[in-house]
Amino acid sequence: MGMSTSTRKQQAREAREDLILREAQAILLERGYLGLTMDRIAQATDYSKGTIYQHFPNKEEVVMALVTQTSSRRSAMFERAATFRGRSRERMAAIGQAAELFVRLYPDHMRSEQIVRAASVRDKTTPERRRVLEACESRCMNVAKGVVRDAIAAGDLELDPERVPELAFGLWSMHFGAFNLAVAEWPLDELGVDDPLASLRVNQHVLLDGYGWQPLFAGAFDWDATNARIAHEVFAGEWARLAGEA
Amino acid sequence: MGMSTSTRKQQAREAREDLILREAQAILLERGYLGLTMDRIAQATDYSKGTIYQHFPNKEEVVMALVTQTSSRRSAMFERAATFRGRSRERMAAIGQAAELFVRLYPDHMRSEQIVRAASVRDKTTPERRRVLEACESRCMNVAKGVVRDAIAAGDLELDPERVPELAFGLWSMHFGAFNLAVAEWPLDELGVDDPLASLRVNQHVLLDGYGWQPLFAGAFDWDATNARIAHEVFAGEWARLAGEA
DNA sequence: CCATGATTTTGACGAAGCGTCAAAATCTTG
DNA sequence: CAAGATTTTGACGCTTCGTCAAAATCATGG
């Protein structure tokens, strides 16, 4: 058995895994989590159930794989956001824009992530794949923490370095909560919240103002211009795609 | 058929429903969401499956009922918190303490709520029971909004009344996110977040500082004293229970 | 090109849960 | 207490899961 054989097999395997995930994604989108079954995946991919099980030990793992795929895109967007040329707080604003853009591009991802996070579902997945997802989160968190540290170094923010994770966690929990509330079609408007994402945009800035991170949102700084610049210089492609889909 | 007969039947029915929910709660605690089955509930209650189905059309509704029960306790705690005698921002801090106390008293509730919020699960529940849950949320939200309005009226906070829901949503999303992240046993500590609830306590105050709500957290005010007073004057019973369980 | 052994694919199968419903049990009332 | 109304029961049909022996396909040396 030559190297080329092994490679060819490996490639075929990967191609098939891609196909499985593509079809699973489509089924998930069309019929929801409960409508996603291993039999249906098999049928859609024209493979037998046994073959699907060669790739994924259960459907939770399939969903986990989908979540992981998309999550790594988010990490990449965060990393790209942090490269924005501007003051530290503008770079953090870029990360915020990345996060919002992400949920708007992949609204169904949040729904899947919610499922995968539920304890009973997560218990059926392998630690290995969980690790991958944790790594994505870690990347996002590290990008954010890096920007905070840069802010301290640049003198834009006065904060004990010990408290950097705390600040990052504040942003994360606020985003996580708002996105999950926004995506679960709960009647938020009846509670007076017409546009949760808009509220989030403000609250995130208010939080950073609370930390005294310069330049303040409640100040003379032209944040509209910054947001426009971020959209143009970092996420032009994504915004175009979003506009195209709508 | 006299009135007493009807009443007796009604009472028996309610007693049975309580029993079902109690047993379901126990099973949920012990075996998780996927381990909760209608057959097991039937077995545990010594009724047949058909009888269980007389009360709940599926297990999603059972969980929904459990979530609703506990949620209404949270609403009550919020309402009690708002009665705290103090300045507006202290009263909001009392609500914060209520929220934290609640997750610590019922950590499993958050897990169930997470499941019930997932779209695929929620779709199987009746609109009627969803309404009940929404009503609980509405109560919580209204308590919070009331305190914010009081703050504006008292001059502790300068804010366009239009933006009251926005502020409330900021707190809600931050809490919701942090609680869900804390309760899903994800390795947050590896991301530098050792004590998510402690971080939340700070971040919630930082957010309100960002809004300029007096008296500020980052000021001379003695917040430790306020927290102790809240714990003692409003939630003495709950804290005792928490200490007893630990 | 074929034989042979390794590898992969298949789908039938047992187990488990769901929700239903006709029959059995129980209760009500004249 | 008899007859009719109501409630309870659990067996049944259906769906999904995950497995595994048999069939199909592939790799390799002659």
Cβ-based contacts of B184 with chain A (< 8 Å): 117-119, 122
pLDDT at A220 over 60: yes
Name the nucleotide with the smallest C1'–CA separation from A12. Answer: C8
Indicate the average pLDDT of chain B: 95
Give the tens place of pLDDT for each residue, B86-119: 999 999 999 999 999 999 999 999 999 999 998 8
CB B94 within 8 A of CB B155: no
Name the nucleotide with the smallest C1'–CA separation from A56. Answer: D18
Share of chain B above pLDDT 70, in %: 97
CB atoms within 10 A of CB B46: 9
The rounded radius of gyration (Å) of the Cα atoms in chain B is 21
- For residues A58-71, give the mean pLDDT: 97
State residue A5's pLDDT score.
Answer: 54
Inspect the interface and report whether the beta carbons of A169 and B208 lie closer than 8 Å. no
Residue of A33, A113, A120 to mutate, testing the B interface (most B Cβ within 10 Å of its Cβ): A120
Give the tens place of pLDDT for each residue, A147-187: 999 999 999 999 999 999 999 999 999 999 999 999 887 88
Inspect the interface and report whether the beta carbons of A166 and B118 lie closer than 8 Å. no
Find the Å distance, CA of residue A240 to C1' of nucleotide C13: 51
Residue A8 approaches strand D within 7 Å at CB: yes
Share of chain A above pLDDT 90, in %: 89
Give the tens place of pLDDT for each residue, B12-39: 899 999 999 999 999 999 999 999 999 9
* Chain B touched by A180 (CB under 8 Å): yes
State residue A4's pLDDT score.
Answer: 55
Find the Å distance, CA of residue B1 to C1' of nucleotide C29: 8
Nucleotides of C under 7 A from a protein CB: 8-12, 16-22, 28-29
pLDDT at B152 over 80: yes
Residue B49 approaches strand C within 7 Å at CB: yes
* Chain A touched by B196 (CB under 8 Å): yes
Closest CA to A89 of A148, A174, A171, A176: A148
How does DSSP classify residue A185? Answer: T
pLDDT at B6 over 70: no
> Nearest chain A Cα to B127, which residue?
A186
- For residues A53-74, give the mean pLDDT: 97
* Chain B touched by A197 (CB under 8 Å): no
Q: Cis ω on the peptide bond leading into residue B57 (within 30° of 0)?
A: no
State residue B9's pLDDT score.
Answer: 76
The C-alpha atoms of residue A243 and residue B7 are separated, in whole angstroms, by 60
> How far does CA B204 lie from the centroid of its chain?
17
> Nearest chain B Cα to A216, which residue?
B210
State residue A2's pLDDT score.
Answer: 43
- For residues A221-233, give the mean pLDDT: 98
Inspect the interface and report whether the beta carbons of B192 and A117 lie closer than 8 Å. no
SS3 of A65-87: the string is HHHHHHHHHHHHHHHHHHCCCCC
State residue A151's pLDDT score.
Answer: 98
State residue B1's pLDDT score.
Answer: 42
Give the tens place of pLDDT for each residue, A81-120: 999 999 999 999 999 999 999 999 999 999 999 999 988 8
State residue B23's pLDDT score.
Answer: 98
State residue B4's pLDDT score.
Answer: 54
Strands (E), B69-188: none
- For residues A29-43, give the mean pLDDT: 96
pLDDT at B199 over 90: yes
Inspect the interface and report whether the beta carbons of B34 and A120 lie closer than 8 Å. yes
* Chain B touched by A231 (CB under 8 Å): no
Helix (H/G/I), strand (E/B), else coil: A187: coil
Confidence of residue A242 (pLDDT cuts 50, 70, 90): very high
Domains in chain A with CATH codes = 1-55 (1.10.10.60), 58-245 (1.10.357.10)
pLDDT at A7 over 90: no
User: At residue B33, what is the residue type?
Assistant: Y
Alpha helices (H) along B82-183: 88-105, 107-117, 119-122, 127-154, 164-183
Candidate from B121, B202, B207 with C-beta closest to A203: B207
SS3 of B156-208: the string is CCCCCHHHHHHHHHHHHHHHHHHHHHHHCCCCHHHHCCCCHHHHHHHHHHHHH
